[in-house]
């Protein structure tokens, strides 16, 4: 049920609103004047809707009539073991949403679809949006398939596709790499088991990602944007940063079970197209983000 203060506010539908990124996106859009709604069904502003249920998605969109949409809901853990679920949620679920939005008499003014930089695969150097995709796992293939499918709807819906590179922040699950490392240092663990240590990534701060999405809603739709910092950090370098932040050292061991086949060795994005569209974003040095996470084990409200 909408609160009285929400009645005159345009609705922003954020799928995945109860997740890590959704929490920050919802707060940003609320500050920008939207009444944020989701499809998770865990509080008064969300509905319990399964994205793979075509009719349920259609009904929810009819009720909400969103002015803008940020579609974050996905199976986003690369090592997720159920390939069928990955494709059903990431591709079919997105199609159901777009079909429902296109059926509205007055559709949304802007829809942001979250893809992934994983679609680029093992590409060295600075990666721009025109680099040919070379996905190396089911998650990446599902996101690339989602992009191609979404282009079937661009004549009816104003769509922007974003390809976020790795990002982190307070509240991210410890099944992801950096929160796991931060937690081990916070608890003064003697040992941490990791996968391939010879990898490097473009790591960004979730707050910069969130600001990017909010600003993109204000510019014309129709492009693809890397969401990235443009800076690449090695895993060994991150361990060193955390040693300096925590004053603690631990043994780092490689667990072969954590080494994924077709591991993407390097990812560094080119943020210049994004900056041209929305202006320069606040810069968060990775060490600053890691310290924020180290000092704040709970997600801020």
- Report, as residue numbers or ranges, the catalytic residues: 139
The strand pairing partners of 15, in sequence order, are: 71
The DSSP code sequence of 17-34 is TTSHHHHHHHHHHHHTT-
Q: Which residue has the tokens 């159920």?
A: 82
Nearest to 163 by CA among 87, 224, 229, 75: 224
DSSP-H helix ranges across 177-285? 177-186, 206-216, 235-246, 272-278
Alpha-carbon gap, residue 100 to 145, rounded angstroms:
19
**Residue 156 contacts residue 107 (beta carbons within 8 Å):** yes
- What are the angstrom distances between the C-alpha of 13 and each of 7, 68, 135, 185, 207? 15, 6, 29, 37, 19
Alpha-carbon gap, residue 98 to 76, rounded angstroms:
19
Q: What's phi and psi for 165, nearest 5 deg? A: -85, -175
| Token pair for 247 | 């004053």
């Amino acid at each position: 049920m909408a609160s009285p203060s929400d009645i005159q506010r345009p609705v922003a539908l954020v799928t995945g609103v109860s997740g890590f990124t959704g929490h920050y996106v919802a707060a940003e859009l609320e500050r920008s004047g939207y009444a944020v709604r989701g499809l998770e069904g865990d509080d008064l502003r969300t509905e319990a809707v399964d994205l793979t249920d075509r009719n349920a998605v259609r009904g929810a969109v009819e009720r909400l009539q969103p002015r803008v949409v940020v579609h974050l809901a996905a199976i986003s853990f690369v090592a997720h073991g159920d390939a069928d679920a990955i494709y059903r949620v990431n591709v079919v679920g997105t199609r159901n949403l777009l079909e429902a939005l296109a059926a509205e008499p007055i559709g949304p003014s802007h829809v942001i679809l979250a893809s992934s930089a994983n679609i680029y695969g093992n590409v060295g150097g600075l990666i721009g949006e025109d680099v040919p995709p070379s996905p190396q796992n089911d998650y990446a293939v599902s996101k690339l398939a989602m992009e191609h499918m979404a282009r079937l709807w661009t004549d009816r819906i104003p769509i922007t596709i974003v390809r976020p590179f790795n990002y982190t922040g307070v509240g991210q699950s410890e099944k992801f790499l950096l929160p796991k490392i931060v937690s081990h240092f916070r608890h003064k663990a003697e040992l941490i088991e990791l996968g391939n240590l010879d990898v490097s990534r473009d790591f960004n701060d979730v707050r910069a990602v969130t600001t990017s999405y909010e600003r993109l809603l204000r510019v014309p739709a129709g492009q693809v944007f890397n969401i990235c910092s443009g800076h690449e950090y090695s895993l060994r370098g991150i361990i060193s940063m955390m040693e300096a932040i925590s004053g603690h050292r631990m043994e780092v061991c490689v667990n072969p079970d954590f080494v994924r086949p077709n591991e993407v060795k390097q990812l560094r994005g080119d943020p210049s197209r994004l900056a041209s569209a929305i202006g320069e974003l606040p810069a968060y040095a990775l060490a600053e983000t890691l310290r924020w996470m180290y000092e704040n084990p709970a997600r801020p409200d």
